[in-house]
Amino acid sequence: MPTSTERTSRGRRGFVIAVVFLLIACGLALLAPVLPFAPYTKMTTARLMPPSFNAWFGTDQFGRDIFVRTLWGLQVSLVIAGAAVLTSLAIGVPLGLVAAYFGRWSDSLIMRGLDALLAFPSLLLAIGVAAIIGPGAVSATIALGIVGVPQMARIARGAALAEQQGLYVDAARVVGVGPLGIMASHLMPNILAPVVVQATLYFAIAILTEAGLSFIGLGVQVPRPSLGAMLSDSRAYTVSAPWYALAPGLTITAVVLALNSAADGLRARLDPQR
């Protein structure tokens, strides 16, 4: 059995590896615009070409470089997921703070409304919202932002309920600090740790869900590259071009695993009881 020290050391190595991988992935995604080939460049004479020196991940049914399109698709996924996480934080955290601080009817009203959203599976709720708004990157961002609100609010509320029992909150009330000041200056800084961990976890969920929306045609629209859409297109060439699905599939898997590992590492570092 590994000792606690060995487990901690392994956890640290895993966290460092995950962070380094995510930095490299983000760097490659940001460098996508400077690549010599555009994601829309078609080479009719090189359709479904297997991986080679000229096309590292092969080409698709239109002769487009899969490596280039994967990097562009990763960039799109990171931007949409990042915007969705920020939207969830901007709405969910204030709702959670208000519910925890004022309690009573405001707590019941806010949390019961959010519980109604939690009654739906995340992907199903995202599909419903995206279908109502219409397909596209903006609608996918809005849908993912709405899906993440209940999770952020519950995390913020739970942490705020524990923190507002502290003497420093009572001292702030005594000296005349108002509810907004207490929530912004006292509660908010002390609930950042669990909120940051949850945001990292939801980043991974948002990337998966965005890929799912694009896979069924409700996310990023053609000809704009999308990892989910690339996976959808590759289904018709599973036998004739098995490499087609590898690049987008492995990219999604690796990024999601790295984000989950980073979230575990953040939890271990930010939790004072561990």
CB < 8 Å & 24+ apart, contacts of 37-46: 37/65, 37/68, 38/68, 39/64, 39/65, 39/68, 39/69, 39/72, 39/223, 39/225, 40/64, 40/223, 41/65, 41/68
Domain spans in the chain, listed from the N-terminal domain onward: 4-270
Q: Output the pLDDT for position 271.
A: 66
Topology classification of domain 4-270: MetI-like fold (1.10.3720)
Q: Output the pLDDT for position 162.
A: 86
What DSSP character marks residue 50? P
The span from the CA of 74 to the CA of 63, in Å, is 20
pLDDT digits (tens, 9 = 90+) for 183-194: 888 888 888 989
Q: Output the pLDDT for position 228.
A: 93
Closest CA to 88 of 132, 147, 128: 147
Q: Output the pLDDT for position 5.
A: 56
Q: Is 258 exposed, middle or buried (0-12, 13-18, 19+ CB in 10 A)?
A: buried
The span from the CA of 104 to the CA of 122, in Å, is 28
- Torsion angle, alpha carbons of 220, 140, 248, 148, to 10: 170
| pTM across the whole model | 0.89
CB < 8 Å & 24+ apart, contacts of 130-135: 130/213, 130/218, 130/219, 131/218, 135/217, 135/218, 135/219, 135/221
Q: Output the pLDDT for position 214.
A: 93
Q: Output the pLDDT for position 150.
A: 93
Q: Output the pLDDT for position 24.
A: 93
Ranges of residues in the chain with a pLDDT under 70 are 1-11, 36, 44-45, 271-274
